[in-house]
C-alpha cells in the first residue's frame, strides 16, 4: 500500500496530534508521512479569530487542509475537533476520533502551583484575562467581576511566556492542549464544565478522510474511540442544529458511559450579559437525537437570538 499522507497544521499541538495518529497507524502496519499545511488562522496571527471567521466563514484552522484532502494531496486530515465545522464538506467525513483528553478549560496563573479546586477567588477583582474565545469571554465574565479580556494568540509556549512577562494576569486555555504538550504542571485550576461549558469537541482529535477512500478508512477506523465518538456526535449535532461555529459563544459538552449520556449546553450573547442553558440525559445509542432535542430546547429559550446578536 502507498504511504498514507497526513495533512496537519504546523503548530506544536497540531504536530503532536498528527505524530500520535501516525505512530498508531505505523503500529498497525501502515507507512505514513506528515504533510504540513498553512491555514488562514496560522498566517493571520495579528487578527482575532472572530474577525477572520466573519470574513472567510467556518474553518479558520481546517479549510486549507480539507481542500488538500479533496484534491488528493493528502489522504488523512488530523484536526482538533473544536476547530471543525459541525458538518464536514461534501465528500469528507470523520473516520475515527482518538480518546478524549481532559475537556475542561484551564485557568493559568503566573508561577502558581496547581490547586485542587477552581475558585473565582483565585483572582483579584478586575483581572486581565488572556483569551479571545467568545465562548470563554461570555462565561468567564459572569465568574470574574470586572474582568478585562485580551485576545492573546500564538502557540501555547508563546502565550505562557506573555503571561510570565506580565502582559496579562491569567490565561484561559484548554487543559487538553496543555497536557499533551507537557505543560500540565502550569494548570493552576481546571474550570468545572458546570461553570464554563467547554467548546464542542474540546479534547478530541478527529481524523478526517474522503468518504470514498475505503482503504484509508479501513486503516483509520481501527483507531476509533467509541465513547469519544459518541460524545462528539451529540456535541456537533447541537452546533449544526443551531447553525453555530467555533467562533460563536456556544458551549456544548457530553459525558457518560456506553448506556447513558448527559449533554449540557450554553448559548450566550457576546457580552455574556444574556445566556440560555439546557441539559438533557438520554440513551447514549441515540446521541444524535439527544443533540437535536437539546438544540430545540435551547432554541425555545432564545438561543437563535443570542447567537445572532
What is the grid cell recorded at 129?
484575562
Intra-chain end-to-end CA distance of the chain, in Å: 51
Pairing of strands 260-268, 4-8: unpaired
Residue 113's alpha-carbon distances to 147, 168, 221, in angstroms, are 22, 18, 40
- From CA 83, how far away is CA 96, in angstroms rounded? 16
| The Cα angle at residue 107 between residues 13 and 175, in degrees rounded to 5 | 35
| The Cα angle at residue 91 between residues 85 and 307, in degrees rounded to 5 | 20
Task: Please indicate whether residue 213 is annotated as part of the active site.
Answer: no
- From CA 276, how far away is CA 266, in angstroms rounded? 6
For the stretch 129-160, what's the b/e string if a residue is b when 16 or more beta carbons lie within 10 angstroms of its beta carbon?
A: bbbbbbbbbbbbbebbeebebeebbebbeebb
Question: Which among 72, 73, 83, 105 is annotated as catalytic?
Answer: 83
What is the grid cell recorded at 248?
460563536
Q: Which positions ≥6 away from 267 have C-beta within 8 Å?
A: 242, 244, 249, 250, 275, 276, 277, 298, 303, 306, 307
- Four-CA torsion 105, 184, 58, 54, nearest 10 degrees: 70
- Identify which of 159, 161, 181, 185 has the alpha carbon closest to the alpha carbon of residue 172: 159
Helix spans in the chain (H): 12-27, 40-43, 49-56, 63-70, 134-140, 156-164, 175-180, 214-220, 226-242, 287-300, 303-307
Catalytic residue ranges: 83
Amino acid at each position: 500500500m502507498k504511504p498514507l499522507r497526513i495533512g496537519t497544521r504546523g503548530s506544536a499541538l497540531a504536530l503532536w496530534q498528527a505524530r500520535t495518529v501516525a505512530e498508531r497507524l505505523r503500529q498497525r502496519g501502515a507507512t505514513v508521512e506528515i504533510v504540513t499545511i498553512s491555514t488562514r488562522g496560522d498566517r493571520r496571527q495579528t487578527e482575532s479569530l472572530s474577525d477572520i471567521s466573519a470574513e472567510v466563514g467556518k474553518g479558520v484552522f481546517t479549510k486549507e487542509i480539507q481542500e488538500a484532502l479533496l484534491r488528493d494531496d493528502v489522504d488523512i486530515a488530523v484536526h482538533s475537533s473544536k476547530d471543525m465545522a459541525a458538518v464536514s464538506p461534501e465528500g469528507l467525513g470523520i473516520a475515527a476520533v482518538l480518546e478524549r483528553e481532559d475537556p475542561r478549560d484551564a485557568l493559568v496563573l503566573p508561577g502558581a502551583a496547581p490547586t485542587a479546586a477552581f475558585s473565582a477567588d483565585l483572582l483579584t477583582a478586575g483581572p486581565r484575562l488572556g483569551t479571545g474565545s467568545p465562548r470563554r469571554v461570555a462565561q468567564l465574565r459572569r465568574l470574574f467581576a470586572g474582568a478585562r479580556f485580551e485576545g492573546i494568540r500564538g502557540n501555547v509556549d508563546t502565550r505562557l511566556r506573555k503571561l510570565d512577562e506580565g502582559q496579562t494576569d491569567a490565561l484561559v486555555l484548554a487543559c487538553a492542549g496543555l497536557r499533551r504538550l507537557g505543560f500540565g504542571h502550569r494548570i493552576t485550576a481546571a474550570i468545572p464544565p458546570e461553570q464554563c461549558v467547554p467548546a464542542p469537541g474540546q479534547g478530541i482529535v478527529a481524523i478526517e478522510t474522503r468518504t470514498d477512500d475505503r482503504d484509508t478508512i479501513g486503516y483509520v477506523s481501527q483507531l476509533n474511540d467509541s465513547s469519544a465518538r459518541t460524545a462528539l456526535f451529540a456535541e456537533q449535532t447541537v452546533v449544526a442544529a443551531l447553525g453555530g461555529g467555533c467562533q460563536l459563544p456556544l458551549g456544548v459538552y457530553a459525558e457518560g458511559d456506553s448506556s447513558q449520556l448527559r449533554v449540557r449546553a450554553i448559548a450566550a450573547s457576546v457580552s455574556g450579559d444574556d445566556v440560555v442553558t439546557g441539559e438533557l440525559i438520554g440513551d447514549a445509542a441515540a446521541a444524535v437525537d439527544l443533540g437535536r432535542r437539546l438544540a430545540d430546547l435551547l432554541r425555545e429559550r432564545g438561543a437563535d437570538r443570542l447567537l445572532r446578536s
